[in-house]
Each structure stands twice: as C-alpha cells, then as structure tokens.
Structure 1
Amino acid sequence: MEESFVPFGGIKNDIKGRLKCYKQDWTSGLSAGFRILAPTTYIFFASAIPVISFGEQLERDTDGVLTAVQTLASTALCGIIHSIIGGQPLLILGVAEPTVIMYRFMFDFAKNRPDLGSQLFLAWTGWVCVWTAILLFLLAILGACSIINRFTRLAGELFGLLIAMLFMQQAIKGLVDEFHIPERENPKSVDFQLSWRFANGMFAMVLSFGLLFTALRSRKARSWRYACGSLRGFVADYGVPLMVLVWTAVSYIPAGTIPKGIPRRLFSPNPWSPGAYENWTVVKDMLKVPVLYIIGAFVPATMIAVLYYFDHSVASQLAQQKEFNLRKPPSFHYDLLLLGFLTILCGLIGIPPANGVIPQSPMHTKSLATLKHQLLRNGLVTTARQFIHKNASLGQVYERMQEAYQQMQTPLVYQEPSARGLKELKESTIEMASNMENINAPVDESVFDIEKEINDLLPIEVKEQRLSNLLQATMVGGCVAAMPLIKKIPTSVLWGYFAFMAIESLPGNQFWERMLLLFTALSRRYKGVPCHFCRNRTIQNNCHVHDIPNHILVCLFRDYLGSGRRGSFPIDDHAFGSCETICFAQVFQRGTPSRFGCRRVRRIPGCTIQPYNRRRAG
C-alpha cells in the first residue's frame, strides 16, 4: 500500500484498484462450486459462536437491553454489506469483545443518570456511534491508514497473540464459572446444590476438552492413514462444525436422570419475544437525549474510533500477510470509510456496531488458501496423469502442467507470478530422471510421484473472492431465526470452541513460533521455524534460527537493565558494562554471519565465525 496523506487520495486509489477485480471476485467464488462451502462453514462457526457468547455477556451487563439477537443481527448486517461493497473481502466483520466492554461502561454510566437512564441508553449510544463515524470518516479521508505501513509484523502478531490469549482466558473463565452459581439465578434451585454444581462442572470439562481435542484432530484428517481420501477430506473440511453438533448431542445423553439445568445451555430471548424489537426504532428517541450528553458522547466515541481504527486495520493486515501471496490490492482507506457508515447504521437501529475481528480474518484467509491449494492440486494432478497415460516425456508433462497452471490463475496479478513451485518441481524431477538415465523416456509414477511432488511444492495462494464472506454472514443472520435451536448448545461447548480458536490462530504467528524455540532441544533446532503456509524449502533449510532464543533473551535483558531499573539489581556500572559487552559480542559473533554473509564479516576486526552446526538428533 502506497502512503497517501492527500485528502481522499487513499480512498480513490483503493476504489480504483478494487473495481478492476470486482467482477473476478464473484466469478472466482462461483467457479469453486460446492467446495466453497468448506471455508464458509468453517468461518461461520468461528464468527457466530463468539458473537453469541458476547451477546450473552451483553445481556448480563445491560440488564437485558442488548442480547445475542442484536449482536447476531449486527454481525450479519455489517458482514453482508461489507462482502458486497467492501474493499477487502477476506476481512471478517463481527461484534468484538472490546465493543462489549465499551457498551458495559456506557451502560453503567447511563443507568445512574436520572435524565438519561436505561430508557435512553440506546438513543445515547446512537449519538456515540454518530461521533465515532465522523472520526472514522476523518481518519479515512486524511489517509491515516497509510500509517499501517509503519506497523511492523511484530506489532500485528503481538496483537493477534493478545487476542488469542483473551480467547483462551475466556474459555478458562467460562469453565471455572460452570462450577459456580450464575448471576440472577435462584441459588436454592436443585441444580445449584453443591453436588450438582460439581457434576455440572465436571461434565462441562468433558464436553469442552472433548470438542477441543476432536476439533484439532479433525483439522489434520488429510494426513490420516485411515479411510479413503474423500472421507478424510470431508472430515478435514467439515469436521469442526460436525464436532459442535456431535458434542451437543452427547450433552443430551444423561437427560432424564439429572436436573434440567445440567449441563447449562445458551440463554437468549427469541427475536419475536415481546420487547425484543423495541431497539430497532431507537432513532425516534435520539432527539430526547439532553444536549449535554450529546456533546459528552464525543468522549467514548474517541476511544471507540481509535480502537476500531487499530483493530480493523490490523485484522485486515493479518488477513493479507505476505506469505499468502495475495494478487489483489489492499483497501485500508476505503474499508475504514465504509466502517464509518456501518457504525452510523448500527447506532440508528440500536445494535452494537461490528468491525474487523481477529482471529477470524486470518483464519478465513488460511481456509481459502487450503481451498486454492486443493483446486490447483487437483487440476495439475489430472493434467499430469492425462499426459502420462499418453506416454508423454517429462518436458511435455511439465509444459502441459505449466499451461494448466496459468489458466487457473487470475489475470489481475499485482505481485510476481508465483510459479516457483512448478519451477522447483521441474528441476527436482529432471534431476531425478537424469540420475535414472531416462530423461527422454515416457514418464511413469516411479519417477514422477504426482500427488506427493505437487502437494509439497505447489506455491501457496489464496482463493480471493467474496462469496464465502457473503454466505457466512447470511448464515449468521439465519441464526437469529434459529435461536430456539441455538439455545440447545451447551455453554461448555462454546468454551471448548473458544480454546480451539485460540490454538488454531497460533500457527503462522512467527513470534509465537520463535518463542517455542526457547523450549526446543538444541539437537532439534536445525529444523528451524515451522512454516505452515510457506513451502519454500530454501528458506527452511538455510535459516540460522538456532540462536533466536539467545537473541530474545539478550534483547529482553538489555532492555530491562537499560530502562532505568539498574538499581533493582546489585550490579555496578562496570559489571553491567561487562555483561552488556559479553552479551552483545555473543549475539554479534553468532548472529551476524546469517545476516551479512561470511565474506563481509571476515573484514570486521576481531570477529570470528563459528561454523553452523547441522548435526541431527540421534
């Protein structure tokens, strides 16, 4: 993204770039056929379940003024609009926990004001949304999103790691609460007796850990040695949603022998219940809010605008990481402008606004990367086998595969063509054939293992389209009408899914993967940082990652001692200087060769190079 602080300059560039590929966004999704349902259902559950949980939390915090019906409606409405006219279709919108927290603070403020109260709470939040939208308009028009380029990958990954920790914290907190009496419940009820509370908590742990374990295992079903390939693929694509249904069914096994409230299930009013639709006409009450509170709404609006600016932009940035090899331009400025309009819309109809969410957005991109890999793999395997059966030579097979590969690519290429995988495939296969002295002979699968080679070397690409986002948002909207069925899901299944989302968002986070090296045995560090969505073998084999733990510890140690806290340690200045010098020398001596190369390092006086130890375990 080019930096553009000219008013309307960034928005103009975003609209121009996305209009060029708007038609292809739809045709690409339709061309995937029924396969698009796999990432759609995967991201639908990842989007709907947290929103339902946040809706329950809002209901407790706002005394029933806002419920899961409103959070689902907001997520569906904003998601549908963004998928149709938004800039970046990979970005998933939803009601996030920071929004829930801000609404709780605003409700606590409003209910204690006699001239505002809970009756005008939604009308006042409407003014908060208006101020928030104005600030978002200014940020988008003035090109504030250009600062996103200054955000390093570390900043985005730290934020993503924080969100993952919050999801895990929510899962643990929810499991602990299963052993306690919920708020606003009758403590004298039979199912809240000590023995039944303990039984409910233990059963909740079984359901939560059962869902977590089976969901994680189902994501790796393609590498199983059991069952046929189509069944393994089905489990990998739809296993997580199926596990939610399976463990919900398991929760009904002891029905009839235990109190009705065990296990605890979701609670939310139906959308057709009396009073459930009063918030939709909140716009008529906005003029009843005193002028002082209309002006004062600017204060929480400022905090929400800053929060949305950072959260929305980072979510979009994480969904467009470099290793995904996206071929279409970003749209940070225009998406922020559209978010302002969506915020006003949500405020006028009395529902909490939605914004770009983490980890759902990068999870969406990863699921589409898996889909694109399957489509390319199946097409190339079919082409290769077709010409191998015609006794074609290796060169002919490669040429046909290259033609098929180019035909499956989008013509809107904004990056270098990602044909590296096929180039490596050609080189490795020709080398193997040369060793067998039959390079011009017809190719058979003893020389050319079609599925293995293509699966390992095919470059990572993403099926960039709008259909999956539109379908998942529509399905979230369908949850509003299906609320009686959703209320049958145990809350413990939600906590297990929260933990699954936290763990599922960690692969690909380079900060997390490098932190794991602190606990990796020295003899195993030659494997380097795992690159789940980057199959560049050269990078994996040549990364000098065995010193990364030392670098992390030295940086943390030096920053801590150098930030004015030396008095906290019984270390004098001479000892501190010696320690710092030794640590820096260790980092420079061992870390510099991998950055600057051996020839340049040899010219530095007093610097020696230690050979890289590639010994294997065992």
Structure 2
Amino acid sequence: MYTYLYNFAKGKQALGQHLFLAWAGWVCTWTALLLFLLAIFNACVVINRFTRIAGETFGMLIAVLFIQEAVKGLVSEFKVPKNDDPNKAKYQFQWLYANGLLAIAFSFGLLYTALKSRKARSWWFGTARFRNFVADYGVPLMVVMWTALSFSVPSKVPSDVPRRLFSPLLWESESAYHWTVIKDMGKVSPTYIFAAFIPALMIAGLYFFDHSVASQLAQQKEFNLKNPSAYHYDILLLGFMTLLCGLLGLPPSNGVLPQSPMHTKSLAVLKKQFIRKKLVASAKESIKQKASNSEIYNKMQTVFIEIDSSPITTAVVKELKDLQDAVMKVEEDTKLGKFDPEEHIDAHLPVRVNEQRVSNLLQSLLLAASITAMPLIKLIPTSLLWGYFAYMAIDSLPGNQFWERILLLFVPSGRRYKVLEKVHASFVESVPFRSIAIFTIFQIMYFLVCYGVTWIPIAGILFPVPFFLLISIRQHILPKLFQLHHLRELDAAEYEEIAGSPSRAPSLNLREMDSGYGGSNEGEVTMCDAEILDELTTSRGELKVRNLSFREDRRTQQIYHGDYIQPE
C-alpha cells in the first residue's frame, strides 16, 4: 500500500519526495478516524459475514505477492540501486555479478534450511528438547547462521558485497526528516489532504479485514474463554497506533501477531495437558486402591472441579457427563478391557485456554527491544530478506484448503485414492470431485482478478475491494451454483484432518455423481476418531465438539444423500 502511495506522490509536483511522509501522515490520520468510527459504531460484527473463501484467497494473494517481491529483490541484486552512483567500484560489472550470485546462494540457502528446520520434530537424531527448539526457533537461527557465513567472503571483495540492510533509526541523521512530519503536514494542499481519504479507506478496510479475522479466530467461543471478546476495543487501539505512526512518518503498525489462532491453541494445549496430568494421576491413585469405575469417576470429577475455574454451566455439565460416560463405558464394554486413564480419557477432555497476558506483553517488549539491535540487524544481507519472503510464502500454503484443492486438480483420477491414504480434509470424501473442481476453478479465477488489480498503476490501491465483494457473492450467487451441504464443507473453516487407511477404495473420478462417496458399503472403510483440538471447526472457523466418529458421520451423510446401504 505504501508503495502505491509513494509512486503516486513522486509523480506529483505538489507532493514529490519531500512531502510524501507528510501526505502519508494525512492518510494515517484519515485511517485512524475511520477506525475510531468502526469501533464506536460496533461495525466489527460485519466480520462474521466473511467465510473461508475470502480468508484463503487473501492468504494466497499475500503469498504470491511475497514470492513476487522475492523474485524482484533477487533481480535487483544484479542492478545498480536507484539514486546511487553507478561509477562506484562495487557497481562494476564483475562485482555486480558476484553480488547477484551470492544473493542467489544466500536466499535459496536460507529458504532450504528454514523449511528443513520446521520439520525438526520428525528428525531421527538429537534429543526431543533439541528437536523442539530447532523446530520453534530454527528460522531465526538460520538467519544468524547465513549472516555469519556472509562474512566469510574474501577481504579483496568490496565491503558492500554482498549488500546489507539499510535501516536508519529515527534519531540518526538519515532520518532527520521524520521529526518534521507534523510541521510539513500543514504544507500539503487541501486537495491532496482530502484525496488522502481514498487510500485511507483502503487501509482501514485492510485492517478491519485482517485484524478482525485474526481476532475472531483467536477468540472463538468454543475455546471457552473466560474473558469476553474485545474486537471493537482492539480496533480503537489500532486507530491510536495508526495515528501515532503516521505523525512520526512511520508505516502504521498492525497488531495481528498477538491475535494469532496458533497462539490461543498453544495455550489451550498447555491447559489441556495440565488437566490431563491431574486427572490421570487421580485415576491411577484410585486404581491402586482397587476402586470401582464409578468411584474413579467421582474422584476425577472432584479434581476436575478443583482445577477448572470456569463457572458450572451447561457446557461444563455436558463435559463431565462425557467424561463419566467414557469411564463407565469401559466397565460395560468387555472388548475395551480394564479402564486405562492414559488411553480412555483423552478424547473427552474439555477445551480450556490458559488465559494470560504475559506472552503478548513479551512479544511487544521484544519488538520494542529490537530497536536497540539495529546495529546487528544491519549486518544481515538483503538477499536473506528475499529468501525469508519466499519462506513465509511457501510456509503459509500448507493448511490452506484453496492450495490443497488446486493440487488435487492435478492428481490423475487413477491416483486420487492415494490422497485418502494420507491425512486429508473431510471434504475430499463428503463432496463429489466435480463440485470440488468447479468451486476451485471459480476461486482461481477470482484470485486472478484480485491479483490483476494489484498490477493497475494507480487504481491498484483498490485491491481490498474484491474481498469485500465476496460477502455478496458468497451469500447470493454461490448458493445457486452449489448444493448447500457441499458449500458448507468447501467454504467452512478447517475441518477435521483424518488419518487415511489403505483399505479404503472410494472413487474420486470427475464423473462421480452427487452421492458424495465412491464406496457404498460402510464395511469397506476403516476409520479412527479424530477428535483433536485443532481439527474440529464450524463454518465460521469456530471449534465444535463432535462426538460421532467419522465412520458414524459417514453413515449419516450416506443417509442424507439417499444412498445408504445396510452393512452386512
């Protein structure tokens, strides 16, 4: 967005380079005002109208733009930067060529090692603690490693080969003009002050979409959070941050990182592990005393109520009833044998989030502390930035159902059964391949429209508009093209991922009719329950409790489609 603003300003004599930050300050002022109005009038409730197709298309656009910037950055390593003296020694042909080759080596090296480090938990070597550390922090470690490697270049090479990041601080001489932004804002003509409202509208729309969707997913009601959601409060604070950054001549800051659903889920896992540990210890103690299953449950219930500080609501009562059923069912079912707390209670533990503000506060403090690390950050080669852009784009693709459906289109019909043998989304089995293909092709075409808008020189600033149009398209057009139960599967949030079984052989042929499944006999399917926290969500991205196994759910779907056959 700031690139569009700069390209617009530099071509205007009334703005130019000197008044660009002042004009951007007016853009941020208008943006802050719009964010204030969104918060005051509770406009954030509209975010519930956005479905998966909007979020995934937006995510794909960001990934493609990151790849695009990475390619442009690599190409620029072979060129003389703008507004620099081409007669300098470091810009001689041989040194430009050497800088470009080093950039390719460093960027692809960072990309490869960063992607490998993310899979460290599946390595065969190293302790579990070491593998977890590499998987969590391997990417910044790879940046440090490749930065250190960049200093192994022979001393005969010019000091600026490879090129390194340039980022002056506010109090340095190169940034002196930042402190004159407020004064220069008065020099901007009224025409351009009011014209700044148009890009401000787009930035406010981006923030509304990006920040609210992330906040919504991080504060789902099925997480059973004790503290209420604060979407409007967040937007209000974001308005103040945008105004402050604009007056300082900085690009506005967006606080979506603390709102990450991954952050909430990690806290939920911690709380669930804590509850599990206490319940298992209680059950084992009761088993040692040769207590009956009902006595085991009574003890576990007491421990559960002591640990869980949530009020006794209908949901809590249901959770306790599910836990009781899990304990008592073992006693009734001789096939399950003796009750084992390590094995039989996992699927019935409640979702609880260890609510705290420490990690959010630390994230903000570390971001502020990074200012003091600027002398170290300036040592990083620019080529690592391009590799990191490519890494973020590629790393965002797994889990994006849009991307997975695109890959499915290129799987030959005779090989589609391989998809079912691996972990896969349930829509693969519950939606005919013809519907999957048509929906994916429509989404690809719409994505190309969104991407094409970004290439329009000045009007490219309007690229958020197509995403808001998706609200009407999803509500009024798509339901006429697809069956509603298929649309709910394809345009919902993440559905359960299921460990496939090689014994299944349903058809995924394009000619498949709307039966929804290639096999009709339930006995052909060997499934396991997939009641995992990160894998159960509703059409709005909310977690849901699912007591049926997928086998039972498949029978329900077959009845729904009218093709259920009683198993032998």
TM-score range, shorter chain: 0.5 to 0.7
Q: Which residue of 1 aligns with 2:394?
A: 503
Counterpart of 1:552 (choices 436, 449, 459) is: 436
- CA change 1:208–1:556 in 2 (3 A) is closer
Measured in 2, the distance between the counterparts of 1:304 and 1:413 equals 43
Contact 1:526 1:546 in 2 (8 A): no
**Corresponding position: 1:229 with 2:116:** no
The 1-side partners of 2:418 and 2:153 are apart by 47
For 1:212 and 1:401, locate their aligned partners in 2 and report how far apart those are by CA, in whole Å.
48
Distance 1:295 1:235 in 2: 50
- Name the amino acid aligned to 2:404: E
Q: Does 1:272 align with 2:272?
A: no
Change (3 A) 1:427 1:187: farther
How much does 1:203 deviate? 2.8
Number of the residue aligned with 2:261: 365
Match of 1:479 in 2: 370
What is the aligned partner in structure 2 of residue 69 from structure 1? none
SS of alignment partner, residue 276 of structure 1: helix
CA distance in 1, matches of 2:305, 2:101: 55
Distance 1:259 1:482, change over 3 A: same
* Structure 1 match to 2:21: 122
Q: Alpha carbons of 1:349 and 1:182: their partners in 2 closer, same or farther (altered >3 Å)?
A: closer
Amino acid at match of 1:550: R
Question: SS where residue 263 of structure 1 aligns?
Answer: coil
Q: Which of these residues, 153, 157, 166, is aligned with residue 254 of structure 1?
A: 153
Distance change (3 Å), C-alpha of 1:547 and 1:290: closer
Task: Find the aligned partners of 1:585 and 1:560 in 2 and give their Cα distance.
Answer: 21
Q: Which has the higher contact order (CA 8 A, sep 6+)?
A: 1
Q: CA deviation at 1:174?
A: 2.0
Q: 1:157 to 1:391 in 2, by over 3 A?
A: same
Partner in structure 1 of residue 419 of structure 2:
525
Using a 3 Å threshold, how does the CA distance of structure 1 residues 275 and 490 change in structure 2: closer, same or farther?
closer
The equivalent of 1:104 in structure 2 is: 6
Report matched runs for 1:333-412 at 5 Å.
Answer: 333-356=232-255, 360=257, 364-374=260-270, 376-377=272-273, 380-381=276-277, 384=280, 388=284, 392=288, 395=293, 409=308, 411=310
The answer for the alignment partner of 2:41 in structure 1 is 142
In the alignment, what sits opposite 1:283? 182
Which residue identity is paired with 1:551?
S
- The change in CA–CA distance for 1:355 and 1:557 in structure 2 (over 3 A counts) is closer
Aligned AA (1:291): P
Cα RMSD (Å) of the superposition? 4.5
State the TM-score, normalizing by the size of structure 1.
0.62
Of 177, 193, 200, the match for 1:294: 193
- Asked whether the equivalents of residues 10 and 16 of structure 2 are also in contact (C-alpha less than 8 Å), the reply is no
Deviation per CA, 1:184-236: give whole Å up to 9, x if none.
33334444344443433333333223322333333333333322222223223
1:183 maps onto 2:82 in alignment:
yes
Q: State which drifts further: 139-148 or 155-164.
A: 139-148
**CA, structure 1 residues 600+505, in 2 after alignment: closer, same or farther (shift >3 Å)?**
closer
Q: Deviations over 1:499-534 (max 9, x none)?
A: 222233233323333333334532223247646xxx
| Structure 2, unaligned runs of 5 or more | 446-481, 483-508, 521-553
CA distance 1:124–1:556, shift in 2 (3 Å): closer
Q: Which moved more, 1:337-346 or 1:427-436?
A: 427-436
Q: Unpaired runs of 5+ in structure 1?
A: 1-97, 532-539, 562-579, 603-607, 613-618
In structure 2, the CA distance between the partners of 1:610 and 1:109, relative to structure 1 (3 Å rule), is farther
> 1:272 is matched by which residue type in structure 2?
W
| Native 8 Å contact 2:30 2:200 kept in 1 | yes
The Cα offsets for residues 516-568 of structure 1, whole Å up to 9 and x where unpaired, read as: 3334532223247646xxxxxxxx6xx6537554213234679999xxxxxxx
From the superposition, tell whether residues 117 and 222 of structure 1 become closer, same or farther in structure 2 (CA, over 3 Å).
Answer: closer
- Hey, what's the Cα distance between the residues in 2 that align with 1:449 and 1:286? 66
Following the alignment from structure 2 to structure 1, what is the Cα–Cα distance between the partners of residues 86 and 565? 68
Contact 2:516 2:561 in 1 (8 A): no
Larger mean CA deviation between 322-331 and 147-156 belongs to: 322-331
Using the alignment, how far apart are the partners of 1:558 and 1:335 within structure 2?
34
CA distance in 2 between partners of 1:517 and 1:413 (Å): 45
Deviations 1:426-459 (A, max 9, x none): 569948995475x27xx6xxx9469xx95x9877
Structure 1 Cα separation of the partners of residues 56 and 314 of structure 2: 23
Conserved? CA contact 1:309–1:336, under 8 Å: yes
Deviation of 1:266 after TM superposition, in Å, equals 0.6
Task: Provide, for residues 105-146 of structure 1, a one-character-per-residue CA deviation record: whole Å limited to 9, x for no partner.
Answer: 453255x21xx5544443333333332222333333333322
Q: CA, structure 1 residues 265+548, in 2 after alignment: closer, same or farther (shift >3 Å)? A: farther
Task: Give the 3-state SS of the residue equivalent to 1:355 in structure 2.
Answer: coil
Give the whole-Å Cα distance in 1 for the aligned partners of 2:6 and 2:312: 45
Cα distance, 1:366 vs structure 2: 1.4
- Please tell me whether the aligned partners of residues 219 and 239 of structure 1 are also in contact (alpha carbons under 8 angstroms): yes
Q: Deviation string for 1:36-70 (max 9, x for gaps)?
A: xxxxxxxxxxxxxxxxxxxxxxxxxxxxxxxxxxx
1:498 deviates by 1.8
CA distance in 2, matches of 1:206, 1:412: 57
The 8 Å contact of residues 27 and 200 in structure 2, kept in 1 or not, is answered as yes
Distance 1:177 1:138, change over 3 A: same
Change (3 A) 1:314 1:598: closer
Shift of residue 347, structure 1, vs aligned partner: 2.6
Paired residue secondary structure (1:262): coil
8 Å contact 1:218–1:236 — kept in the other structure? yes
Structure 2: which amino acid aligns with 1:104?
Y
Which residue of structure 1 lines up, in the alignment, with residue 514 of structure 2? 588
Change (3 A) 1:399 1:172: farther
CA spacing shift, 1:160–1:491, aligned 2, 3 Å: same
Tell me the amino acid that sits aligned with residue 420 of structure 2: Y
1:492 equivalent in alignment to 2:383: yes
Alignment CA distance shift 1:317-1:257 (3 Å): farther
Give the deviation of 1:102 after TM superposition.
4.1
What amino acid sits opposite 2:56 in the alignment?
Answer: E
Distance 1:266 1:384, change over 3 A: same
TM-score, with structure 2 as normaliser: 0.67
SS of 1:283's partner is helix
Deviation at 1:484, TM superposition (A): 1.4
Helix, strand or coil for the counterpart of 1:588? coil
In the alignment, what sits opposite 2:66? 167
* Counterparts in 2 of 1:519 and 1:425: CA distance versus 1, 3 Å: farther
